[in-house]
Amino acid sequence: MISRRIIRTKVLQILYAHVSSPEKTITQSESELHFSLRKTYDLYHLLFAILGEICDFASDRIESRKMKNLPTQDDLNPNLRFINNRLIGRLKVDESLNKYLTANKLNWSNYPDLIRGIYSSMIESELYKNYITSPGDDFQNDRRFCEDFFSNILVNSDIMLNELEEQSIYWNDDLDFTISMVIKTIRKFKSADDKNEYLMSLYKDTEDQEFTTKLFRKAIVNNVENRKIIENYTKNWDVDRVAIMDILIMQLALTELMEFPSIPVKVTLNEYIELAKYYSTNKSSTFINGVLDRITKDFREDGKIVKAGRGLLEG
């Protein structure tokens, strides 16, 4: 589930925290890195669970309206399309999802205002109104609405963003990515009776897990050497005045370029330039691109960057 881009992002964040706290050991920071990635995986499961919570909230509202002293015809004959959503029903009984939520004590039971707020935003949306009145009443239509709920309603929910920021510092930048993984998973479900397990594992494979640990450790171990390299290629700049995030991004890029022969140079450069656009100053991506481009050309000529297999073919 965790992509290489998220891994690089988390490594950068924890590396920044590590250099900002000299008292921290590599082991402590590495533990924090893996905890941060696990929190993203927690959020992945929690996002699936929120559908069920909103569905239950909607069901309770329907029942309470029926009990009014003077219920309307709409109260007595409500539209049940959403609370009967087949995909949501399938997720409610998903064994692996419920097992993970229970084992890690993850739920939304203590956040009724959040559930109420998201529900209100949902029922006011055109997506919801079109869904509950559409002639198509099948699993595919239910699944499509769930996709739209995440990609158009939840991702733009200020109340959701605020709540995630309050719950965990590790979720500040995770919502967009995690929602994309949720949608990717939802698209795998074929029917309400489909009993296959589609939820993603934390890492795609052991290679990604090893990439995480090695990238972080090597960036710290090679810190002095990589900083000297950067200083040599920024002689017209006072390196101490270069943004610390720019330095760390270039150090990570150098680590990846020299320590991972199977990753194409283009992939590495593009990934860290994108990180610079998001986490540093407006001019950082251009500056970092120029420095890394010069280093890469010289180091490849000198044999300090050697790519093999896929990397040799792709850059």
What is the secondary structure of 261-281 as a DSSP string? Answer: TTS-HHHHHHHHHHHHHHHS-
Q: Is residue 106 part of a domain?
A: yes
Q: Is residue 208 part of a domain?
A: no
Q: Are residues 120 and 178 in the same domain?
A: yes
Q: Is residue 59 part of a domain?
A: yes
Q: What are phi and psi of 203, to 5 degrees?
A: -110, 145
Q: Are residues 82 and 148 in the same domain?
A: yes
Q: Are residues 15 and 113 in the same domain?
A: yes
Q: Are residues 158 and 279 in the same domain?
A: no
Q: What pLDDT score was predicted for residue 313?
A: 43
Q: What pLDDT score was predicted for residue 70?
A: 86
Q: What pLDDT score was predicted for residue 85?
A: 97
Burial (Cβ within 10 Å: 0-12, 13-18, ≥19) of residue 73: exposed
- Give the DSSP letter string of 283-304: THHHHHHHHHHHHHHHHHHTTS
Range of the domain at 165: 4-186
Domain count, the chain: 2
- Count the neighbouring beta carbons within 10 Å of the beta carbon of residue 266: 12
Q: Is 168 helix (H, G, I), strand (E, B) or coil?
A: coil
Q: How far apart are CA 201 and CA 64, in angstroms?
A: 39
Q: What pLDDT score was predicted for residue 242?
A: 74
Residue 164 belongs to what H/E stretch? helix 158-167
Q: Are residues 140 and 80 in the same domain?
A: yes
Q: Are residues 148 and 49 in the same domain?
A: yes
Which of 140, 167, 186 is at the close of a domain?
186
Q: Is residue 96 part of a domain?
A: yes
**Cα separation values, 10 from 3, 182, 213, 269, Å:** 11, 19, 11, 17
List per-residue pLDDT tens for the chain, 315 residues long: 899 999 999 999 999 999 999 899 999 999 999 999 999 999 999 999 999 999 999 999 999 988 888 888 887 888 999 999 999 999 999 999 999 999 999 999 999 999 999 999 999 999 999 999 999 899 999 999 999 999 999 999 999 999 999 999 999 889 999 999 999 999 999 998 888 889 999 999 999 999 999 999 999 999 999 999 999 998 877 656 678 999 999 999 999 999 999 999 999 999 999 999 999 887 889 999 999 999 999 999 999 999 986 544 444
207 alpha carbon, distance to own chain's centre: 19
For the whole model, what pTM was predicted?
0.91
Q: Is residue 36 part of a domain?
A: yes
